Amino acid sequence: MKISSVEAVPLAVPYRRPFAFASGVATSADHVLVRITTDDGLVGHGEAPPRPYTYGETATSIVAVVRDVFAPLLVGADPFARERLRADLARTVANNAAKGAVDVALWDLAGQACGQPVHVLLGHAADDVAAAHMIGLGTPAQMVADAVEMSDRYGVEAFKVKVGRDLAHDLAAVRQLRRELGDSVELYADANRGWDADTAIVAARRLADFHVTMLEEPNPADDVLGRRRIVRESPIPIVGDESTITLGGVARSLLDGDAQAISVKVARTGFTDSAKIVGLCEGLGITTVVGNQIDGMLGTVASTALACGQRALARHPVEVTNFLLMTDDVLAEPPVIVDGRAAPRQAPGLGVTIDPDKLAHYRADR
């Protein structure tokens, strides 16, 4: 089996409302659909969400690097030779989301070729996982309303609360969330580098008072000594996300004392490097959690497959609900969250079908 074509299709699907966080705001799903076709007619899919505030990529840059740089390396290659292709792609630095989408599409193909779902190929650790919901920045009342809806409608009991602006405002939101949701739900926080080290240390102590379990990216990790000071003084673990986006980056961050847990995202490390990161962390006794890059529906299906494939990831609630912001998508069937849990698809590969009419409607290069 050989790869016969690689496409990168920019999409534009409106959100119900913007999703805000300390480093940016997303107003629509302007993701890039990567489609890899083989000479025997299989089609693998991956989704790259452009996050300029995190990786410097835009939809235009993702389309260009996939079409102009990666496609010539992929066409004619064996899609099972993922390690060779990974090395070929690695000759181009960065472009994390573009590489992640290519890797996801290759695993989708491998699963289809073997007649097995991706989570089974990855190790089939769980039949489903608890879902966690990311609450975007807003007024305390808006943030509580979002969480209550997710709890009442979908049974979600774990929430990652965006923080990282004015501390009094953040603490007011967390206080109200804890009061409305009760003690049994898990709250953890993500500042997306919004604070300086001194503010972050105060914040970590105050968040711990509300039984917040972890704090992600409190300040820029490049503030090297400041970050180490936070890690030393925080009563709750500091999670690396945008400062730990590659296998080597995770290793360096852990050795330098920049983070005590790692957020793993299919959207930037695909299945291949996500599994390598999980293995590295498992060996070191470091917690890994599946994060959400404001994934669309395809990315959500992939994140669920990863979590259900790896034991270390299946243990913690998995961030798989933010596709609900989308008014629609190109997938024929949206992901499903029931009783606070997400299950992987049972069909071979990722088990997704692209609706051709929706693709025609939402493609941004018409």
Q: What angle do CA 299, 301, 304 make, to 5 degrees?
A: 105
Active site residue 282: no
Rounded to whole angstroms, how far apart are CA atoms 55 and 58? 9
Q: Within the chain, where are the H helices?
A: 52-55, 59-64, 71-74, 82-90, 96-114, 118-122, 140-154, 167-181, 197-209, 224-233, 247-256, 266-269, 272-284, 297-309, 311-314, 356-362
Q: Taking the complex as a whole, how short is the minimal distance between the CB of residue 194 and ligand MUC, in angstroms?
A: 11
Active site residue 190: yes
Residue 3 C-alpha from the chain's centroid: 27
Binding mask 214-253 for Mg ion (x = CB under 5 A): --x------------------------x------------
Rg (Cα) of the chain, in Å, rounded? Answer: 19
- 24-63: contacts with ligand MUC (CB under 6 A): 51, 54
Name the active-site residue from 30, 47, 108, 241: 241
Name the active-site residue from 162, 217, 260, 295: 162
Residue nearest to Mg ion (CB): 241
Rounded to whole angstroms, how far apart are CA atoms 299 and 31? 10
Active site residue 2: no
From Mg ion, ligand MUC, none, interface partner of 186 (C-beta below 5 to 8 A by class): none
Angle between helices 82-90 and 272-284 (to 10 degrees): 90
Q: End-to-end CA distance of the chain, in Å?
A: 31
Active site residue 116: no
Residue of the chain from 157, 190, 273, 319 that contacts Mg ion (CB under 5 A):
190
Examine residue 192 and tell whether it contacts ligand MUC (CB under 6 A). yes
Stretch that binds ligand MUC, among 65-73, 125-133, 287-295, 330-338 (CB under 6 A): 287-295
Q: Taking the complex as a whole, how short is the minimal distance between the CB of residue 268 and ligand MUC, in angstroms?
A: 8
Active site residue 276: no
Examine residue 319 and tell whether it contacts Mg ion (CB under 5 A). no
Active site residue 40: no
Examine residue 21 and tell whether it contacts ligand MUC (CB under 6 A). yes
**Count, residues near ligand MUC per rule CB under 6 A:** 10
Examine residue 293 and tell whether it contacts ligand MUC (CB under 6 A). yes
Q: What angle do CA 296, 76, 63 make, to 5 degrees?
A: 35
Residue 102: how many CB atoms within 10 A of its CB?
Answer: 28
Stretch that binds ligand MUC, among 148-156, 164-172, 289-297, 345-353 (CB under 6 A): 289-297
Rounded to whole angstroms, how far apart are CA atoms 258 and 207? 19
Q: Which amino acid is at 270?
A: G
Task: Enumerate residues 6+ apart whose C-beta is below 8 A from 142.
Answer: none
Stretch that binds Mg ion, among 190-198, 221-229, 278-286, 355-363 (CB under 5 A): 190-198
Q: Taking the complex as a whole, how short is the minimal distance between the CB of residue 193 and ligand MUC, in angstroms?
A: 9
Q: Taking the complex as a whole, how short is the minimal distance between the CB of residue 54 and Mg ion, in angstroms?
A: 8
Q: Taking the complex as a whole, how short is the minimal distance between the CB of residue 257 and ligand MUC, in angstroms?
A: 21
Q: Which residue, 23 or 304, has its beta carbon nearer to Mg ion?
A: 23
**Count, residues near Mg ion per rule CB under 5 A:** 3
Q: Taking the complex as a whole, how short is the minimal distance between the CB of residue 263 and Mg ion, in angstroms?
A: 6
- 218-277: contacts with ligand MUC (CB under 6 A): 241
Residue 320: how many CB atoms within 10 A of its CB?
Answer: 28
Name the active-site residue from 47, 186, 216, 295: 216
Residue 168: how many CB atoms within 10 A of its CB?
Answer: 9
* Residue keyed to tokens 């330098």: 256
Rounded to 5 degrees, φ, ψ at 6 are -135, 125
Q: Which residues pair with 288 in a beta bridge?
A: 262
In the complex, the residues that contact ligand MUC under the rule CB under 6 A are: 21, 51, 54, 190, 192, 241, 291-294
In the complex, the residues that contact Mg ion under the rule CB under 5 A are: 190, 216, 241
Which are the catalytic amino acids? Answer: 162, 190, 216, 241, 265, 293
